[in-house]
Structure 1
Amino acid sequence: MSIDSVTAALYAQALQSTVADPSRCTVPWVVCPEHGGTLKARAQATADGFDSWCTDFTCFNVWPHDRLDAARTEPATHTIQADNGDPYVVCDGHALTARTQITDGQALPGLPA
């Protein structure tokens, strides 16, 4: 599967998730709620119990599980208006990441009407 087809599949999943639960972030991967796409995870649990952490040097967020593969629990706070016009909802961390990664689209505060 090419990167474009993977991206299209993830985008389609986000649109379906928005319809299913418009109050939850719909992006199928997890980010730091404060810094966006800055997470790292260990392959195996360690003695300190921290398996995921934010790599932003000002952040002290750590999680005692593999957050990269965890279910999303953050509330939706922003709407991504994609270049083709189909909106989907995301949390603060994904909105921050989207602003740096999307082209021909916008990350807008608030949920769709």
Structure 2
Amino acid sequence: MDGSSFISMKHVDMRKLPAAAQEERRRQVVGLRERGLTYRAIAAQVGLSPTGVFDICQRFAAEGAQGLVSKPRGRKPDEQRLLDAAQEAEIQRLICRHTPDELDLP
């Protein structure tokens, strides 16, 4: 079965789905792959890109069922901060005590 008999589903932005729906879609992808469907056929059936389907399958191969669980997105707290806590406190102190003109700021 090459998947050409499947009706093409509208592309889905997985990021907009709730975590439970994302995980269910990933389980669906893995199940279809285990039944022998191609990445392209799975993509058409579930509304993802072939690359997205491939990535899900690779993650499942590397991590097993745990790889299908949604992970937190975005930066970790305090990641890529420019100032440490002491510098931040000093800036806050200066802002509270002086006007920008007094500190030669624009």
User: How does the TM-score come out when normalised to structure 2?
Assistant: 0.29
Query: Larger % of helix: which?
Result: 2
Indicate the structure with greater strand content: 1
TM-score when normalising by structure 1: 0.28
Q: Which has the larger radius of gyration?
A: 2
